[in-house]
Structure 1
Amino acid sequence: MSSELNILALYGLYTALILILKVTGSMNQLGMGYLLSARDEQRSLRGITARLDRALTNSITAMALFAPAVLLLAQKDAFGAATLTAAQVFLLARILYVPAYGLGITGVRTLLWLAGFAATVFLYLAALLAT
């Protein structure tokens, strides 16, 4: 398995960790009874748990964009030093993005999002240019 595919797997595990953190915070704020119910009554998360919920949604969106780029490169057998660097930048930016979001560090959060997004765009361009 290539390093880019390993990075994809690591990011999947990291996204699962974010989900666990969000659910743990949700249990504390909303209670297990509510989480096990049909949730017909709308309740809102607050503070860091609400920010983790939004970071999770953003992380899933990032995964939906990142994964096809890596899989296209794998299918074309087009991995190289540049694609590995881009995948590493993506992973590092996304790992740092969630705590920045959770802690409300908005300027840093935006720069980290941009770095991860730019790395993903680069991977798509590399896949398109591969022969």
Structure 2
Amino acid sequence: MLGSELTILLVYGLYTALVLGAKVTGMMATVDMGYLLSSRDEGRTLEGMLGRLDRAINNSVTAMALFAPPVIVIALRDQSSGASLLAAQVFLICRLIYVPAYMFGIRGVRTLVWFVAFLATLILYFLAL
């Protein structure tokens, strides 16, 4: 199922979209609909678990923006290798752990998996060069 870096990128994008959907659902339960339907010019701070989920989403989008370029270059150049696939798999596993670790406030785990996923991303850049 996860036999290519592009598939892993797609799975991560879908996961991020599902987490975003969970955040919106949580906002619907805690924030008035008038605010949700507005242009949101006035900023509101989300607190607690919903606030952590919001920050995890922002970090996830940033991680995807960094992860996608080397994956696409590797695919376009047909340079997929065991090392690039492993780096992409490590990235995905770490990012799947990252969101719940952040949401539930598990600090050491959150930081560790963020760091390992970031290293996997850097490895992909070096492999794509």
Q: TM-score, normalised by structure 1?
A: 0.93
In structure 2, runs of 5+ residues without a counterpart are: none
- Provide the residue aligned with 2:55 in structure 1: 54
Query: Cα RMSD over matched residues?
Result: 1.0
Rounded Cα–Cα distance in structure 2 between residues aligned with 1:80 and 1:40: 46
- Provide the residue aligned with 1:24 in structure 2: 25
- Provide the residue aligned with 1:84 in structure 2: 85
- Report the number of matched residues: 127
- Provide the residue aligned with 1:68 in structure 2: 69
Contact 1:30–1:43 (8 Å) recurs in 2 = no
Secondary structure of the equivalent of 1:114?
helix
Rounded Cα–Cα distance in structure 2 between residues aligned with 1:67 and 1:40: 30
Identity of aligned residues (%): 61
Superposition deviation, residue 39 in structure 1: 2.3
Rounded Cα–Cα distance in structure 1 between residues aligned with 2:101 and 2:10: 22
Rounded Cα–Cα distance in structure 2 between residues aligned with 1:77 and 1:29: 47
Rounded Cα–Cα distance in structure 2 between residues aligned with 1:107 and 1:12: 25
Contact 1:25–1:49 (8 Å) recurs in 2 = yes
In structure 1, runs of 5+ residues without a counterpart are: none
Rounded Cα–Cα distance in structure 1 between residues aligned with 2:114 and 2:42: 33
Deviations 1:73-126 (A, max 9, x none): 111111011111100000000000000000000111000000110000000000
Contact 1:4–1:84 (8 Å) recurs in 2 = yes
User: Segments of 4+ in structure 1 off by > 4 A?
Assistant: none
